[in-house]
A and B are shown apart, each in its own frame.
Chain A
Amino acid sequence: MINSNSQAYTFGAKVSTRKTRNLWVKIITAALLTVGSWQVGSSAYLLAKAQLAQYLIADAWQATMKDGDAHKPWDWADTHPVAKLSFPTVGEVTYVLEGASGRNMAFGPARTVSSGMPGDSISTVISAHNDSHFSFLGQVKLNDVVQIETLKGQFNYQVIDLRVVDSSQQQVSINQQDELILTTCYPFNALQTGGKMRYQVTATRM
């Protein structure tokens, strides 16, 4: 007991010299570098995951179109692609996953399970992140055509409404008509996440 106490005391009594200040700087630098690269790495990881996953999902969708069965994009996935979404005017193509959970949306746009599918007389709701798969959604204009391909065939929708809504005040209405509702976060180039505002694009069947 006494022994260890004395050691602690010795250390505490050390006067801060230039040597220790150097040590401090080294420590801080190391810390900043570690955490900084961690941050950069994790955002790169998120982005890479989001981009690479689309290739696997595209393969799974090809397989689905071939045999009509659901195919998982990777073995441990708990979702599968249900549609191919194209924006000819913006020149973008993405693959839609089943179930709009946070986990699925890290990999691609996702369909809200309680909503409908194109061709049914019930709204189809598809959501994605504004800094990955729906970063271009702001470029979609009124009267643009959105194409969606499902197992039932190709469906064309025309954009009739663009709006920003406060998600703490409103929810997505699933109506009894064949329409496509695309949602993402708003504003588009925000640094922070978790805001209340959402961007909603509504398109009706042509």
Chain B
Amino acid sequence: MQSQKRKSIRWELEQLAQKSKTDRNQAIKSTKKYQKLGLNWKDVVIFSLAMFYTTLYHVNAYAEPLDSSVSAVNFDDISSGMMMSFNKTSGEYHSLQLIQTDYDVDVFGLLATIKLKQTFLNANDDWVTEGVYAFPMADQSAVYQMKMTIGDRVIEGEIHEKKQAEQIYQQAKSDGLTATMVKQYRPNIFTSDIANIGPNELISVEISYQMSLRYDQLFYELRLPMAIKARYTPSDTEPNLPATLAVNDLNHRRIDINLDAGFALDEIRSLHQNIEIAQELGRHQIKLSDQQLYDTHDFVLRWFPKVEQTPKAAYFSEIKDGYEYSLLMVLPPNNTEKSAKPRNMTFIMDTSGSMHGQALDQSKDALLYALSELDEATYFNVIDFDSTAKVLFTASRPATPDNVSLALDFVDGFSSDGGTNMAPALQISMQRENIKSGYLNQIIFMTDGSVGNESMIFDQIAQDIADARLFTIAIGPAPNNYFMSKAAMFGKGTYTHIASLAHVNDSMSHLFAQLAKPALTDVDVAWNTSGVIQSPSVIPDLYMDQPLVITSKVPLSEAKAAPSFVVSGLIGANNKQKNWSEQISLKHDGQTTGIARLWARNKVEEMTDDLMLGGDYSALKDEIIELALKHHLITEFTAMVAVDRNPDASRMARAKAAAEAQAIQQTPFPQGSLGWRWNLLIGMLMMSVAVLLQRKF
């Protein structure tokens, strides 16, 4: 009955609508026709003619002739400051192709040695005078060797002070010599400049670097970044990002890993890419299955030792130039009790444009997890930032159900756009309103770290952190790891990376366990020898599952056959402090290569930190340069350059001629006339015809 009635009402309405529609249509039709008849149709003619000529006039005055035959590259597509090789005679733009990127990784215990080989091809029939390729570098890596291969000639790179390297490279470039220069732009972004590549020539640049692996209670991790994400730099700071110029990356990657973990493994897992694993004599050979790179995910490999095999301490050393260099790793015992102090947590969430999509979903999930874990004794606040910062409560509040539900609504409303302007959000989080005395003040910072003004942010954190602790959570497929770990270091907290949506709960519960347990503070290592220079010189607080990793340098005369240490620290706060100390004696090793470099790299990093925090610039710079030159390290102040010094004479001449034929830039001719003459003539003609007509009739 109901439906019948509704149906009928609806039917009636439809009928009505139909009726009025047809009525109106008819009315319109008739009036239209009527008006059309009565319409002054000369108006229509005049109007259409006028429209026609207006169009013509616009075409005349504004259309710039398209020079379609000149080049495949439209100049509008090239951003300013970009340099393209353009050949005057052939009229073509040239770029190099990066046809292959090879990673050959050797993992031995805690150390990875990586050979990164980039093969560039000049697929043109002309010379390419210069190409620049910017690529990501694993953070905490010590780059110590570079080789350039052209044909069958291999040229070893030399380390120089950056300015000097630049001079050598520019000189070689203008002399027509093939040359490569590898520089560090950021600690985790490097560039290769390649000069004078012949027609259809292959050139490969091989960079060797070493790094100590990340070690967690459960697993070891090797991370190779595959792409550089665009960084946001606030408008008031100088943008200083490298750009890839005249090099086209074809995204072919080969990754081969030779893994010698030193203990039995439970599992080897790649987080984002498919891999093939082969085993022989306790070693594992790991290969990337698909060599085409489709996305920008970092390559992350984790291996899990069998539980009973997990080493509690490890020691590697190298003897070089009268010193013994060592790498020491100690895992403090796990503390089971929770912190006695109540906590005050401030969550900062990055909702800038770069977080759009999956990254924002991930961080929302992570934040919702965090909010649901809070108990009523805990105070909290939420800050959301993009170009500006918005704060949930003016001062932090206890996590009562009401407050938490307010926060949930707040978080739900997040959407991502705008720039990544971190400074205001960080400032709010470290302000008095959000810091409670007598509480453990913990700031949890979720971002992808796509910022360009890193050192300013570090400085700010170091200045204002006081008793609070900053924990960074990296979100998204390719976060800026350098920024994340360094920010956590200056904030005296830890860094967690959430690789994908599926890992949000695992990673967050691990972080919350870290946050709930007291850290090991005042960590100290006492050696049984004297004259030890260790790096880092001040050991940071250690949270749950964090190993103590230090590198050191001892004069050989002081080094003992069986080095031993007492590692000690404090657990818990104030009156409930407990001492922890452990005596460790290890076998003398002296066989591992590369520990000296690692020590030097850590030392350079420490000095760079001092620089960022306003240390004596020239003194620190000199010290860094001295250390870097001695240990062959690429740093902020040093670069490697390789020049093919002995080419045959004709090659040099051809390269030089090509460079001269290449104007540094070309631009199409702008339009050359305003086009009023034609309009004036036509207009005059028309008016005179009109006058004639008037006279005749």
Task: Known pairs A1-B29, A130-B673; list 14 more (Cβ under 8 Å).
Answer: A32-B693, A35-B46, A35-B50, A39-B680, A46-B675, A112-B667, A131-B673, A132-B674, A171-B67, A175-B664, A183-B669, A185-B671, A192-B678, A196-B65
Closest to B696 in A: A25
Chain A residues with Cβ below 8 Å from B502 are none
Shortest distance in angstroms between B42's beta carbon and chain A's nearest beta carbon? 4
- Is residue B413 contacting chain A, with contact meaning CB distance below 8 A? no
Contact partner, B45, options A8, A31, A129, A200, Cβ 8 Å: A31
Contact indicator per residue, chain A 100-132, by CB within 8 Å of chain B (1) or not (0): 101001100010111100000010010101111
Q: Give the most central of A115, A185, A199: most B CB within 10 Å.
A: A185
- B-to-A contact residues, CB < 8 Å: 26, 29-30, 33-34, 37, 42, 45-46, 49-50, 53-54, 57, 59-65, 67-71, 75, 80, 86, 88, 91, 663-687, 689-690, 693-694, 697
Closest to A189 in B: B677
The 30 listed contacts between A and B (C-beta, < 8 Å) are: A3-B30, A4-B29, A27-B45, A31-B42, A31-B46, A33-B687, A36-B690, A37-B683, A39-B680, A40-B684, A41-B683, A43-B676, A43-B679, A43-B683, A44-B676, A47-B676, A127-B670, A131-B674, A132-B673, A132-B676, A167-B65, A170-B91, A176-B664, A184-B672, A185-B671, A191-B677, A193-B671, A194-B671, A195-B672, A198-B672
Closest to A192 in B: B678
A137–B675 Cα distance when bound, in Å, is 17
Question: Which 4 residue pairs spanning A and B have beta carbons closest together?
Answer: A185-B672, A39-B683, A36-B686, A193-B675
* B33 contacts A8, C-beta separation under 8 Å: yes
- Is residue A168 contacting chain B, with contact meaning CB distance below 8 A? yes
Chain A residues with Cβ below 8 Å from B680 are 39-40, 43-44
Contact indicator per residue, chain A 169-191, by CB within 8 Å of chain B (1) or not (0): 11111111000000111100111
Contact partner, B690, options A3, A32, A165, A172, Cβ 8 Å: A32
* A31 contacts B666, C-beta separation under 8 Å: no
Contact indicator per residue, chain A 142-185, by CB within 8 Å of chain B (1) or not (0): 00000000000000000000000101111111111000000111
* A30 contacts B42, C-beta separation under 8 Å: yes
A26–B67 Cα distance when bound, in Å, is 45
- A-to-B contact residues, CB < 8 Å: 1, 3-5, 7-8, 11, 22, 25-44, 46-47, 50, 100, 102, 105-106, 110, 112-115, 122, 125, 127, 129-132, 165, 167-176, 183-186, 189-196, 198-200
A199–B669 Cα distance when bound, in Å, is 10
Shortest distance in angstroms between A155's beta carbon and chain B's nearest beta carbon? 20
Chain B residues with Cβ below 8 Å from A105 are 670-671, 674
A175–B88 Cα distance when bound, in Å, is 11
* A167 contacts B678, C-beta separation under 8 Å: no
Chain A residues with Cβ below 8 Å from B686 are 32-33, 35-36, 39
* A39 contacts B30, C-beta separation under 8 Å: no
* A38 contacts B50, C-beta separation under 8 Å: yes
Shortest distance in angstroms between B68's beta carbon and chain A's nearest beta carbon? 8
Chain A residues with Cβ below 8 Å from B53 are 35, 38-39
Task: Known contacts A42-B679, A165-B669, A185-B671; decide if A1 and B30 are in contact (CB<8 Å).
Answer: yes
Chain A residues with Cβ below 8 Å from B670 are 100, 102, 105, 110, 112, 127, 183
A34–B693 Cα distance when bound, in Å, is 14
A172–B678 Cα distance when bound, in Å, is 27
Chain B residues with Cβ below 8 Å from A40 are 679-680, 683-684, 687
* A193 contacts B678, C-beta separation under 8 Å: yes
Chain A residues with Cβ below 8 Å from B666 are 171-174
* B683 contacts A193, C-beta separation under 8 Å: no
* A175 contacts B674, C-beta separation under 8 Å: no
A129–B54 Cα distance when bound, in Å, is 21
Contact partner, A175, options B42, B70, B663, Cβ 8 Å: B663
A171–B30 Cα distance when bound, in Å, is 60
A132–B671 Cα distance when bound, in Å, is 12
Chain A residues with Cβ below 8 Å from B91 are 169-171
Chain B residues with Cβ below 8 Å from A22 are 697
Contact partner, A29, options B33, B37, B693, Cβ 8 Å: B693
Q: Give the most central of B37, B67, B75, B675: most A CB within 10 Å.
A: B675
* B697 contacts A25, C-beta separation under 8 Å: yes
Contact partner, B683, options A28, A38, A191, Cβ 8 Å: A38
Chain B residues with Cβ below 8 Å from A167 are 65, 67, 668-669
* A29 contacts B694, C-beta separation under 8 Å: yes
Task: Known contacts A193-B60, A198-B669; decide if A168 and B69 are in contact (CB<8 Å).
Answer: yes
Chain B residues with Cβ below 8 Å from A41 are 683
Task: Known contacts A39-B686, A168-B67; decide if A46 and B80 are in contact (CB<8 Å).
Answer: no
Closest to B665 in A: A174
Chain A residues with Cβ below 8 Å from B667 are 112, 114-115, 125, 171-172, 174
Contact partner, B673, options A42, A129, A172, A175, Cβ 8 Å: A129
Closest to B677 in A: A191
A34–B67 Cα distance when bound, in Å, is 36
Contact partner, A36, options B62, B86, B676, B685, Cβ 8 Å: B685
A163–B69 Cα distance when bound, in Å, is 21
Closest to B66 in A: A168
Chain B residues with Cβ below 8 Å from A8 are 33, 37
Chain B residues with Cβ below 8 Å from A110 are 670
Shortest distance in angstroms between A95's beta carbon and chain B's nearest beta carbon? 17
Shortest distance in angstroms between A15's beta carbon and chain B's nearest beta carbon? 17
Task: Known contacts A105-B671, A198-B672; decide if A32 and B687 are in contact (CB<8 Å).
Answer: yes
* B70 contacts A171, C-beta separation under 8 Å: yes
* A129 contacts B665, C-beta separation under 8 Å: no
Contact partner, B677, options A26, A43, A170, A200, Cβ 8 Å: A43
* A129 contacts B671, C-beta separation under 8 Å: yes
A172–B666 Cα distance when bound, in Å, is 5
